[in-house]
Structure 1
Amino acid sequence: MEQFRVLLLPGSVLPADLAYGALLAELGDRISAVAKDLELYATDEPPADYSLDTEVDGVLREADARGWERFHLVGYSGGGAAGLAFTAHHPQRLHSLTLLEPAWAGNWGWSPAHRELWQQYSQLEQLPPQEFMGAFMRLGVRPEVTLGPPPGGQPPPPWMAKRPAGIRAFLRTFATYDLDREALTRFTQPVYFALGSLSNPDDYGEVADRLGTVFPDFQLEVFEGRHHFDPPHRVEPQRLAASLLRTWSRGEPAP
């Protein structure tokens, strides 16, 4: 059985192996996969000139090192934004694109509610470190969602210390990056978008609606009861795996 070649990018918080462990276990030997950590965290501090192009270059290096001329790209949150940038620059390298609530999808076509939300994101820069992560997470979900406290009695893992600076670097590049909408409209391979019903509709819901008018082959799947911080790739890997396998099968040429 021929394996699907898949590269997966995580969001700005969990490392790739923790983010995608359950999904990769479910997919098993049906795929040849690499869960690639973000270039954002390759050094102790984000590069001064960091942009989504940094992640695009990292994906290219990883695929070329493996000899993958074409592959399937999966991106969650910040990794989803990087996936969109990669698709705009290198559409010929992809069999399909999977977006798991991308954190950002261009600076065009925003509603007033989306613009107000991003004004709130920009204000996070002013918060002290101990308040930053909680406020950041609160913006990603519906008001009625209760976000649990971090596990008590356990020190944060060492990688967590890099996350506030990494998220800030993402927010800065989102404010200035030129995502080529017209290039995305020319991408005719399948695009699959997974959306949690409890995620902030003015954020990820609007992004899904907007991208649905951009990509010619776009499929949206809503996961009831899920939100950005308990996403289907961690909580419902069996269901998501089935959807991804269908998407990947459509994206590759018939034998």
Structure 2
Amino acid sequence: MSASKVVFLPGAVLPAPLAYSGLVDLLGDDVEAIVKDLEVYRGASPPADYSLDTEVDGVLRETGARGWTRFHLVGYSGGGAAALACAASEPSRLLTLSLLEPAWGGHWDWSPRHERLWSEYDALAQLSHEDFMAAFTRLQVRSEVRLPEPRSAPPPVWMSRRPAGIRALMRTFKTYALDRNALRRFDRPVYFALGGLSNPDQYGEIAERLGGVFRDFTLEVFHQRHHFDPPHRQEPSRLAESLRSVWLRGDLLASAGAD
């Protein structure tokens, strides 16, 4: 069987090559990869009309340039939210969908705990860039998790654009109309990797909701991982095995003409 064609979308902090280099290197010749940065960082500042559709358009542009008609899509955090939007709006293009703790999962009848968490995210809007990033990361993990102290060395140049990009993503999460019925109709394999130390009021509840929507849904819990030491960086061998399994199923379904 030929190499699997896969698009990897990162979160809103690390650039895609830094986020996925270890995993893609491990996958080797089994994968023909597009490791794609988010469109929110394509220019000097987020586009004024930015939405998750901007990210979907970017995925279609890059795959179109390669001549790919069908592909596997992997998205982490903000990239996971973009991957969900792609599954809803362009389902025929996807062979499989792999979600690595998507930051947002659409508009549902969320629990009070989930709603309170998003109110806490809203309250970060007035913070300075430095304070914003510290509070933003703290909210996404369990209270007992000890996050690393900020480094004393100057941050990389790309880091200065992250608060604006994260805020743009959070704004579109409030208004974007993710088509739930389209997700219910999506019949390709869906894989979800969940960190056991991530904030369950966010990522655990998103996994639970999506697990009740997608027809073919596999949840894998990485008990020692959280959102900022995710499996694609800390347990790439285990994740690679899981991804290969779901990609094989997707490729076989496509070969059998199960559309």
Distance in 2, Cα, partners of 1:220 & 1:130? 34
Query: What pairs with 1:34-53 in structure 2 (closer than 5 Å)?
Result: 34-53=34-53
1:15-60 deviation line (CA, Å, top 9, x unaligned)? 0000001100110110000100011001111011110000000000
Q: With the length of structure 1 as denominator, give the TM-score of the two structures.
A: 0.98
Shift in Å at residue 109 of structure 1? Answer: 2.5
Q: Where does residue 119 of structure 2 map in the other structure? A: 119
Deviations 1:75-121 (A, max 9, x none): 00000000000000000000000000000010112111100100001
Q: What letter corresponds to residue 28 of structure 1 in structure 2?
A: G
1:66 matched residue in structure 2: 66
How many pairs are equivalent? 254
Alignment deviations for residues 99-151 of structure 1 (CA, whole Å, 9 cap, x no partner)? 00000010112111100100001111011122000000001000000001133
Match of 1:12 in 2: 12
CA distance in 2, matches of 1:114, 1:127: 22
* Deviation readout 1:165-213 (Å, 9 max, x if unpaired): 0000001000000000000000010000000000000000000000000
How does 1:1-255 map onto structure 2 within 5 Å? 1-152=1-152, 154-253=153-252, 254=255
TM superposition score normalised by structure 2: 0.97
Distance 2:115 2:79 in 1: 21
Supply the distance in 1 between the matched residues of 2:81 and 2:214 (Cα, whole angstroms): 15
Name the % identity: 64
1:224 to partner: Cα distance: 1.2
Unaligned runs of 5+ in 1: none
RMSD: 0.8
- C-alpha distance in 1, partners of 2:45/2:34? 24
SS at match of 2:243: helix
CA distance in 1, matches of 2:250, 2:124: 39
Counterparts of 1:44 and 1:63, CA distance in 2: 23
Q: What is the alpha-carbon distance in structure 1 between the residues aligned to residue 90 and residue 148 of structure 2?
A: 39
Q: Please say which of residues 239-248 and 106-115 is displaced more in the overlay.
A: 106-115
> Contact 1:71–1:96 (CA<8 Å) still a contact in 2?
yes
- Per-residue Cα deviation, 1:196-238 (whole angstroms, up to 9, x for no partner): 0000000000000000000000000000110000000000000
